[in-house]
């Protein structure tokens, strides 16, 4: 659970108390997550909820004991974590890539929750020249101090876009002319026989559940990685490196 592994660096990103959280929302700070006590009542609650709705933020309603484990100070039933990075908007990033004259190369992360895998993927993506990484607001790894450290600072260098629904992001990318390539062994193709010297968006899923059916249904191609040993799959961050550098190889000879 999160409260068992948060550290001092992440404490610095935590804001608690009704007024401090409202001021953070009003100031436009990037909010990574927002925890609200179940059954909370109070005169300022309506104003807080209005600010949350205006920012279109997702609320996690949690029991009071979870908040108490995060801080021993008076939190008044609300805690938020400020993101250590600034997020880009996918709808702004896509035109900019095309205007630069290059074929977009984008990663969509579907349900990848391990912070260190996430950081490692971002590090590889930055080295490979990926234009943007799309992550879900919920159901994915948070951008924490650990993630930034694992990424070797790459999270401050590559555009990271958050979406309320990863399926909507896939649709947007597809509508903007990118070929959607699902990185999965559940298909006939492999990454080396897939044409990648064009606008590409790779979808990577978690090692436990894989890519969601909704995202698979929107995919144009399925690209597996040939396995020669007895273990049936690679770590997802390693798989990301394989598919990204195959894309680079193909683009370099086209």
| CATH number of the domain encompassing residue 106 | 3.40.1280.10
Please indicate, yes or no, whether residues 13 and 75 belong to a single structural domain of this protein.
yes
For residue 12, the model assigns a pLDDT of 54
For residue 207, the model assigns a pLDDT of 81
For residue 8, the model assigns a pLDDT of 44
Q: Residue 249 sits in which domain range?
A: 90-253
Q: pLDDT tier at 61 (50, 70, 90 boundaries)?
A: very high
Average pLDDT, the chain: 90
Please indicate, yes or no, whether residues 173 and 76 belong to a single structural domain of this protein.
no
CATH of the domain at 44: 3.30.1330.30
8 Å CB contact between 22 and 51: yes
How far apart (Å, rounded) are the C-alpha atoms in residues 36 and 32?
14
Q: Indicate the number of domains in the chain.
A: 2
For residue 24, the model assigns a pLDDT of 92
pLDDT tens digits along 141-166: 888 888 999 999 999 999 999 999 99
Please indicate, yes or no, whether residues 17 and 107 belong to a single structural domain of this protein.
no
pLDDT tens digits along 207-220: 888 999 999 999 99
Q: pLDDT tier at 188 (50, 70, 90 boundaries)?
A: confident
pLDDT tops 80 at residue 14: yes
pLDDT tops 70 at residue 223: yes
């Amino acid at each position: 659970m999160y409260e068992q592994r948060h550290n001092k660096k992440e404490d610095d990103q935590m804001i608690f108390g009704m007024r401090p959280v409202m001021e953070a929302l009003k100031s436009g700070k990037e909010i990574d997550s927002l925890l609200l006590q179940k059954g909370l009542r109070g005169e300022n609650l309506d104003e807080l909820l209005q600010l949350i709705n205006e920012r279109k933020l997702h609320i996690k309603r949690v029991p009071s004991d979870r908040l108490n484990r995060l801080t021993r100070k008076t939190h008044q039933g609300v805690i938020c974590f400020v993101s250590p990075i600034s997020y880009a908007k996918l709808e702004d990033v896509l035109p900019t890539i095309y205007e630069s004259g290059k074929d977009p190369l984008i990663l969509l992360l579907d349900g990848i929750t391990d912070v260190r895998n996430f950081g490692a993927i971002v590090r590889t993506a930055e080295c490979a020249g990926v234009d943007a990484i799309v992550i879900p607001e919920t159901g994915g790894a948070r951008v924490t101090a650990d993630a930034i450290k694992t990424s070797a600072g790459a999270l401050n260098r590559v555009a990271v876009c958050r979406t309320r629904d990863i399926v909507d992001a896939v649709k947007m990318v597809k509508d903007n002319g990118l070929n959607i390539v699902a990185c999965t062994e559940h298909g006939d193709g492999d990454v080396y026989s897939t044409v990648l010297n064009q606008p590409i968006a790779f979808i990577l899923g978690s090692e436990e559940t894989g890519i969601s059916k909704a995202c698979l249904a929107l995919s144009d191609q399925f690209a597996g990685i040939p396995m020669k040993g007895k273990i049936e799959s690679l770590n997802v961050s390693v798989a990301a490196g394989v598919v990204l550098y195959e894309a680079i190889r193909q683009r370099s000879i086209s």
